[in-house]
Every structure is written in C-alpha cells, then in structure tokens.
Structure 1
Amino acid sequence: MEYLELLDKVEQWAKDRALDTAEARTQYTKLIEEQGELGVAIDTGNVNGNSGVIDSLGDYQVTLIIYCLIRGIDLKGEIKKQGKFWETEVDGMYELLGADGLSLTTSQKFIYLVYESSQLIGKYNRNKGAVEEYASVERIMVSLYDIAKEYGTNLEETLEIAYNEIKNRKGKMIDGVFVKEADLNGKD
C-alpha cells in the first residue's frame, strides 16, 4: 500500500475514535512510549517479535501521524508536495552527533530520534507553531527511515503492519487517553 493511502487510513482511524481531539501532550506521551519500545527492541536485538523493531517503527509512525493530526501539521500535504522526503537526508541533520547518516550506528540514529522527539515537544511547549514542529517531524521521519533501512524494511511496510494491527481495535477515551478494549476488560 502507498504511504499516502496508509496515512489516510490511520488519520480516519484516529478520527473515528476521537483521538484527533486529544491534547497534544497526551499524544506525545504515547509517542515516547513507542519510542521507548523501539529503543528496547534495538538494544535487545528483537527485530520481528511483539514490540520488536519492525512493530515499533510502525507504532511510532501511527502515534506521530496522530500527533500531526492534533497539531494541524499537514504531513499529507508535505508528502504530496515533496514525495517521500524521508529518503533524503536533511542537510546537517546528524551534525549534533558529529557525523553524517551513512557513518552512524543504528544506536546513534536512535539517539538522534530521541533528540528530535524532544525538540518536537519543546517547540510545542514554546508555542513555536506547526511550521516549526514540522521541521522536527521531518527529521523524525528521516531517522525512522534510516533505522528501518538498517533492518531491511521501509516506512510503508512497517506502517502497514501497524495499521493492520490496529484497524479493528476498539476502545474508548478516558480522561483524554484512548484505552484499548482489551485493556478495559483486563485482557492483554
């Protein structure tokens, strides 16, 4: 499935569950939860298992897409305009780590992802606006793409896996947080 089609499906899924009305900080918390799972998966070498790298890359994208939806960051418009912008390194992006994207380890790319995620919420907290936040989203997407390449996959494949996992998921909003039906019933 093409990325834009998957993006539309994730956005509609979020709207159907009123996730687009959640507070941005609440969604950011979900984003960081997925980021933590990705870090653990990279660290332990869990590639294809539950909460593995492949799964976590897709879940991270789902939470990021919903964050963009909440904040009015037009990820879809940027993709229509630029194409798969994440396939091109942003000039100076990895400068913080003293290297370019080609010479970094997967762990270093993950560290940069953590840094850009922090920049994202920092820009939100300082009321920098969607345009400034988009710069962080763009770099996050490049980092996710670079990590995915290390594992022989891509953003479309990992997002499709995540979407297929959630598409029939039911639940409800409790205090601004979507709680899966399985968690409401005490099941895993």
Structure 2
Amino acid sequence: MQDLTDKIRVWAIMRNLDEAEPTKQMLKLVEEVGEIARGLARGNMDEIKDGIGDVQVVITILAMQLGTSIEECTQLAYNEIKDRTGEMKNGVFVKAEDLS
C-alpha cells in the first residue's frame, strides 16, 4: 500500500496537482464518492472498486495540497476509533456515547 501511495504522490507532483486548489480536489472527491454510490445502487462491483480506488487517489492528493499526508490523517482517525465501543443498530455502528 505504501508503494502505491508513493506512486500516487509522484504522479500528482509530475502533473503539479500537489500545488492545485484543494477546493477543486474536494469537488473531485464528492464526484468519486458518487461513483461508489452509483455502483452500489446498480450492484456494479467493478464501478464500486474503481470508485474506492479513485477516492484513495483523490484524498492522497488532497492531503498533499493541504500540507499533510494520508498516512498522518489515517493515523489520527485510527487513534480516535481504536478504543471506541458501541454496537450495531440496523447495520450501522453507533458509538457508545450516542446510544440512548
């Protein structure tokens, strides 16, 4: 995974995407998430996989544009959830503090 992430960075730098406007990259992210939703709605696993991969590329570049890294952001998110407790409700994990 690290090798692929590094290749994404090189690809982005070669195209000056690392210096592009983050708001445009955010719009691209929403577009790619929509691709995943469309794939889910249609039961199209190829479209879902492509969308998930595209999201990974876009957020890697977005992190670069904002002066951080996808690894740092993922570590922060993991640190936040690693000890989280809760339970599944209707197929969704609900944090313990949100259970009533």
Distance 1:12 1:103 in 2: 42
Aligned in 2, Cα 1:78/1:29: closer, same or farther, shift over 3 Å?
closer
Alignment counterpart, residue 5 of structure 1, candidates 3, 7, 26: 3
- C-alpha RMSD of matched pairs (Å): 2.8
Secondary structure at the residue paired with 1:73? Answer: coil
2:19 equivalent in structure 1: 21
- SS in structure 2 opposite 1:72? coil
Which consecutive segments of 4 or more residues in structure 1 shift more than 4 A?
none
Aligned to 2:70: 75
Separation in 2, partners of 1:71, 1:24: 7
The question of whether the paired residues in 1 share the 8 Å contact of 2:59 and 2:70 is answered with no
**Counterpart of 1:59 in structure 2: which amino acid?**
D
Give the aligned length.
89
| TM-score normalised by length of structure 1 | 0.41
CA distance in 1 between partners of 2:57 and 2:39 (Å) = 17
Mapped partners of 2:73, 2:21: distance in 1 = 23
- 1:28-48 superposed Cα distances (whole Å, 9 cap, x missing partner): 011111011111101110102
Distance 2:90 2:18 in 1: 38
More helix by share: 2
CA 1:64–1:103 in structure 2 vs 1: closer, same or farther (change >3 Å)? same
SS at match of 2:45: coil
Q: Does 1:58 align with 2:53?
A: yes
**CA distance change for structure 1 residues 6 and 103 in 2, over 3 Å: closer, same or farther?**
farther
Aligned-pair distance for 1:15? 0.4
So what's the TM-score if we normalise by structure 2?
0.74
Distance in 1 separating the partners of 2:26 and 2:70: 16
Say whether the 8 Å CA contact 2:60–2:69 is kept in structure 1: no
Give the whole-Å Cα distance in 1 for the aligned partners of 2:17 and 2:59: 12
